[in-house]
Structures are given as C-alpha cells and as structure tokens.
Amino acid sequence: MVLAALVLLPAGVVSEETTRSSEGELDRHALEDLFIPRKPIPHSLLGVNAFANDPRFGSIRNQFREVKGTLRIRRVRILFAWNDQVQPSPSAEPFFGFYDEIVRSLPVGVEATVVLTGVPSWMSDSRNWIGGDPRATFVELWVKKVIARYRRRGRLTVYQIWNEPNNPDLSENQTLDLLTKPVNYVDLLARAHTAIKDSAPRKKVINAATTAIAQNFPETLEYNQAMVRAGILAYTDVYAVHYYGKSVERVLLPGGVGDFLQSLGREIWITESGVQGVSRQLEYAERIFPFLKAQIPAIGRIYWYQFTEASPAGTSYGLRTLTAGSTVSDLYVALRDRRRSA
C-alpha cells in the first residue's frame, strides 16, 4: 500500500481483480478460495492501520477511542512520514506537530507500531545527502530525530523501517535505490536498527514489508528471499509481510510463500491486509485470516488495512467510509457486536 505524504493511498496495492488482469488470464487456481471455509476471526491477532489523517472521521483522539472502545482493538499501525510538510529544507528542523498530537491521543492500553518512511522533495538532489548516501541521510535526519523525541513514550512500542521497498509506485524507492536492490534495503534497516537500539533498546525494530507477498509471483517472494540472504534477520525482531488478495495456492505451493515464512524461525506479522468493498470485508477476514494462521502458525499479528478511507464504499478498504448508507463495513459491525466475552 502506498504511503504518500500524510495520507495512505491504495494505488500501491494490487487487488485480486487487478492481479488477474495484469497476468492476462484467470489463474487456474484462483477459485481455490471457494474451498476455504469461513471460520471465526482470530481476534487476538488483530490490529488496524489507523492513521487519523482525515478529520472528516472525527478528531484524532476520538478515532483512536473508537478503535479501542468500539472495535476493542488495542494495536494500531501509524505513519510518521518524512516529507516537505515536516522538513521543507535540509537545514530546517523537523516539525512534529501532527505526530505529537497522534502520540498524545493514543489511549491507555493501546500500543502503536510506527512506520518511518518517505523523503522530502529535496532528497532527490544528491548534494543534500550526508556523505553522498541517501540511506544514511534518512537515518541521521529522520530516524534518529524521531527516536530522540519519542523514546520515552511507552505506547510507541515498535518501529517499522520503511514501507514496500520494491513498490515501483513509490518514488522514494528510487531515491534510496531500493526498488531492485534488496541488499540496499537491508543496509537501510541495519543502520536504523543500530540507531534505535542504541537510544531505546527496549523498542522493537521490524523490517518493511514488501508489496503483497503472494502477488506478483514469484518476483515479490524472490525480493523477500534476497533480503534474507543479505542478512535481514539480524536486524528485525519479527518478520513483516503484507498480504492482499487470495492466491492461496501460492501459500501452499512447495517452496512458496508458506514454506518461506515457516523457514525463517521468526514470529510473522502481517502489517497490512484487507479487501476492497464494505460488504466483502467480513468474508475475507473469516476465510483468509484463519487459513493463513493455520498454514503459518508463526503469525502473531494481522493489521487490517485500514480503519478509515474516504473512497466510495464499493472500492474502499476502510472499516469506515464517508458513503451515505454505508459508513461502516460488515467487518466493523461484526467487531463492534461480537460478544464481550469473546
């Protein structure tokens, strides 16, 4: 999923339908999901991407209260993007006002995974790089300053370094030279890991998930495999992936997604997963989440993408939308109305 400025946009996610179109024909296994039974959602694993960046859905504080109080979800994934709004020039000090408000608004009992990603426009000029290295510049001018500011904030428990380094829709992947070079992403993560652990050793540091690991097969899986060969496991406390669409045969395939993730010997977090359409979300969660947990027992968290999205209800990933008559999805209703003892 594309993280742009202070708004997360869906253009970077390939939907199931887009996957079929881009491959030119319907995969002969694409209907295999019909044989995956609907089962109870593993609520204990759930988190939600909640960026609180659209005031039409309410104040930042009220959005987080709704996540905790109405949906009873206590894990959120939030975005601290480095961009022109935050730092308009290399010599300017970062402006943390929006992020300070997010941190102040997190309710007691809610823990946040913070995504650190993005670059200001001036980073496209290599003369602004520290030591001629864009990845070192990102760590020095963004990661270290974020950690210095928030290291004592106990509700910020996890830092995820970057987002979808293999996503061609993200120009910052070109700036940091990550798009086709997994080894460069591992270099970025290693630098950030050292900076964070030196300053705040109790914080978890996790890798950026690539684009959905079972889509664009096998290229996305191969990028993940290359990161492992480059030593990524030394610099991440868990292993993060994104999972969109169904493509369940690619999980079951010998040497495929399931085998790869189980071979890591690490807890797995799915930091983004979801489906478009407010009437499709519950079925997706009841089929795909229990299936993934059964096939990959190391999965410890699944973060729904996302809490709010202003797209029309039929194409929105949001649990909440702005569409009259469809302001909440069927998954939102199921989470809201489940028995308190569940």
pLDDT per residue over 32-87, tens digit each?
Answer: 455 899 999 999 999 999 999 999 999 999 999 999 999 999 999 999 999 999 99
Select the more confidently predicted residue: 15 or 164.
164
- The yes-or-no verdict on residue 332 having pLDDT over 50 is yes
Q: What's the pLDDT tens digit per position in 257-295?
A: 999 999 999 999 999 999 999 999 999 999 999 999 999
Those residues whose C-beta lies under 8 Å from the C-beta of residue 67, and which sit 6 or more positions away, are: 48, 50, 73, 76, 110, 307
Handedness of CA 256, 260, 263, 268 (dihedral sign): negative
What tokens were used for 199? 């300053």
- The yes-or-no verdict on residue 7 having pLDDT over 80 is no
Chain centroid to CA 14: how far? 14
Range 93-108 average pLDDT: 98
Q: Helix/strand/coil (H, E, C) string of 230-280? A: CCHHHHCCCEEEEEECCCCHHHHCCCCHHHHHHHCCCCEEEEEEECCCCCC
- The yes-or-no verdict on residue 25 having pLDDT over 70 is no
- The yes-or-no verdict on residue 184 having pLDDT over 70 is yes
State the pTM of this model: 0.91
Range 295-316 average pLDDT: 98
- The yes-or-no verdict on residue 128 having pLDDT over 90 is yes
At 35 the pLDDT is 82
Residues 79/6, Cβ–Cβ less than 8 Å: yes
Confidence of residue 318 (pLDDT cuts 50, 70, 90): very high
- The yes-or-no verdict on residue 6 having pLDDT over 90 is no
The rounded distance, in Å, linking the Cα atoms of 320 and 307 is 6
Please identify, in words, the CATH class of the domain defined by 2-337. Answer: alpha beta
